[in-house]
Amino acid sequence: MNREYHRWRSHELGRDMEMLVFGHGGLPAVVFPTSQARFYEFEDNGMVGAVADKIDGGHLQLFCVDSVDSESWYNRGVGSDWRIARQVQYDRYIVHEVVPYVRWRNWSPHLIAMGCSFGGFHAVNTSLKHPDVFTGFLSMSGAFDMKELGFLPGYYDANTFYNLPLDYLPGLSDEWFLGQMRQRRYVLATGEHDQCWNDNERLAAVMRAKGIPVQLDVWGHGARHDWPWWREMVKVYL
């Protein structure tokens, strides 16, 4: 399997950012790690191995990015205004630096974002904010209600609003955005014993109310919020 390590100084974030690339062609996917995790997490937890046949066959190419969650959502050492501002900078890093790199490497007309748990949040939020860039998402056990989870307690501004899909989607009326979203493919996968099941039901309901097609699958047989289930999910959806 083609495996590459890359590192560069991010202009948007003002720090070095790292990435692993797997594969040589096919559907490109930007992979977000879970809460405060690193770019190598997907490989370390067997997710790359789970779809190795598709990667080796040239059907799938993974771009596993690093996170700055410890500097944004989870950073209790700074004010909430700075935490959400760091998230905005991270979004710009993905769109202005990672995506051009992906497009330089892979000319596929499609580009998806994917992730598990908090990575699922990033995948969904990034895809919905940039439907002209991302043609779909795969979220496995994503968490979407940051207010309920206690992030940014008592703080709310425009940056907060535009990074919470459960807040900005219900009032979205811009037909350009909605038109783009209605042409995309969105998949929400969760489990019957997953603490994020309710978040996924809520997000799917909001999307459907806007005419945005979304596939919501709730796995049975004891499916939980954990890697063994995500390894099975990724084989089904990619």
String of DSSP letters for 142-166: ----TTTTTSSTT---HHHHTT-HH
| pLDDT tens for each residue of 156-205 | 999 999 999 999 999 999 999 999 999 999 999 999 999 999 999 999 99
Domain that holds residue 132: 3-237
Q: How many domains does the chain have?
A: 1
Residue 147 predicted with pLDDT over 90: no
- Return the pLDDT at 110: 98
Residue 109 predicted with pLDDT over 90: yes
The mean per-residue pLDDT over the stretch 32-50 comes to 98
Report the C-alpha gap between 126 and 109 in whole angstroms: 18
- Return the pLDDT at 33: 98
- Return the pLDDT at 102: 98
Residue 76 predicted with pLDDT over 90: yes
* CATH at residue 128: 3.40.50.1820
Residue 148 predicted with pLDDT over 90: no
**DSSP for residue 221:** T
- Return the pLDDT at 81: 96
3-state secondary structure 11-80: CCCCEEEEEEEECCCCEEEEEECCCCCCCCHHHHCCHHHHCHHHHHCCCEEEEEECCCHHHCCCCCCCCH
**DSSP for residue 141:** S
The mean per-residue pLDDT over the stretch 219-237 comes to 98
Report the C-alpha gap between 51 and 90 in whole angstroms: 27
Average pLDDT, the chain: 97
What are 13-16's contacts with CB under 8 Å, separation 24+?
A: 13/68, 13/89, 13/90, 13/93
How far from the centroid of its chain's Cα atoms is residue 40's Cα? 15
